[in-house]
Structure 1
Amino acid sequence: MNAYENNAFFWQKLDTLYLSSKLIIDRAKNTCHYKYSNLVYPVDYGYLVDTTGTDQAPVDVFKGSEKSNLVQGIVVSADILKKDCDVKLLVGCSEEEEHEILVFLNQTEFQKSILLHRGDEVPEWASND
Structure 2
Amino acid sequence: MQSSFFDALDALARSAQIRIDRREGSAHPRFPNVIYPLDYGFLDGTTAADGGGVDVFVGNCAGAGVTAVALTVDAGKRDVEVKVLLDCTPGEIDGVSAFLSGTLRLGRTIVHR
TM-score by length of 2: 0.92
Select the residue among 99, 102, 123 that pairs with 2:97.
Answer: 102
**CA positional deviation for 1:22:** 0.4
Structure 1 residue 70, shift from structure 2 partner: 1.4
Counterpart CA distance in 2 for 1:18 and 1:39 is 26
Please state whether the residue corresponding to 2:102 is helix, strand or coil.
coil
The one-letter amino acid of 1:27's match is R
The aligned runs of 1:84-123 (5 Å cut-off) are: 84-107=79-102, 111-118=106-113
**Equivalent-residue separation in structure 1 for 2:103 and 2:16 (angstroms):** 31
Q: What is the match of residue 45 of structure 1?
A: 40
**5+ unaligned residues in a row in structure 1: which ranges?**
1-5, 119-129
Question: 5+ unaligned residues in a row in structure 2: which ranges?
Answer: none
Contact 1:80 1:110 in 2 (8 A): no
Q: 1:24 to 1:69 in 2, by over 3 A?
A: farther
CA–CA distance in structure 2, aligned partners of residues 52 and 29 of structure 1 = 23
Q: What is the Cα deviation at residue 42 of structure 1?
A: 0.4
Q: Which residue of 2 aligns with 1:64?
A: 59
Contact 2:68 2:93 in 1 (8 A): no
Q: Percent identity?
A: 34
- Given that 1:78 and 1:112 are in contact with CA atoms closer than 8 Å, whether structure 2 keeps it comes out as yes
| Greater gyration radius | 1
CA distance in 1, matches of 2:104, 2:83: 19
- Superposition RMSD in Å: 1.5
- CA offset digits 1:39-63 (Å, max 9, x no partner): 1100111111110012111001100
Scaled by the length of structure 1, the TM-score of the pair is 0.82
Q: CA, structure 1 residues 30+108, in 2 after alignment: closer, same or farther (shift >3 Å)?
A: closer
Q: Within the alignment, does 1:19 sit opposite 2:14 as a pair?
A: yes
The aligned length equals 113
Q: Which runs of 4+ in 1 moved over 6 A?
A: none
C-alpha distance 18-47 of structure 1, shift in aligned 2 (>3 A): same
